[in-house]
Amino acid sequence: NAGVTQTPKFRVLKTGQSMTLLCAQDMNHEYMYWYRQDPGMGLRLIHYSVGEGTTAKGEVPDGYNVSRLKKQNFLLGLESAAPSQTSVYFCASSKNPDSNQPQHFGDGTRLSIL
Amino acid sequence: GQNIDQPTEMTATEGAIVQINCTYQTSGFNGLFWYQQHAGEAPTFLSYNVLDGLEEKGRFSSFLSRSKGYSYLLLKELQMKDSASYLCAVMDSNYQLIWGAGTKLIIKP
Q: In chain A, whose CA is at the least distance from the CA of B43?
A: A105
Q: Are B21 and B86 in contact (CB under 8 A)?
A: no
Contacts with B42 from chain A: Cβ below 8 Å: 4, 90, 105-108
Output the pLDDT for position B66.
Answer: 97
Contact A100 B31 (CB under 8 A): yes
Closest Cα in chain A, distance from residue B13 (Å): 24
pLDDT value for A48: 96
A73-93 confidence digits (pLDDT tens): 999 999 999 999 999 999 999
Map chain A to HEC letters: CCCEEEECCEEEECCCCCEEEEEEECCCCCEEEEEEECCCCCCEEEEEECCCCCCEECCCCCCEEEECCCCCEEEEEECCCCHHHCEEEEEEEECCCCCCCCCEECCCEEEEEC
Mean pLDDT score, B21-41:
95
Residues near B82 by beta carbon (within 8 Å), at least 6 away in sequence: B75, B105, B107
Distance from CA of A108 to the nearest CA of B (A): 7
**114 residues of chain A, pLDDT tens digit each:** 679 999 999 999 999 999 999 999 999 999 999 999 999 889 999 999 999 999 999 999 999 999 999 999 999 999 999 999 999 999 999 998 766 789 999 999 999 999
* The predicted structure's pLDDT at residue A97: 73
pLDDT at B37 over 80: yes
**Residue of A90, A71, A81, A75 lying closest to A22 (CA atoms):** A75
B95 pLDDT band, cuts 50/70/90, is confident
**What pLDDT is stored for residue A100 in this prediction?**
78
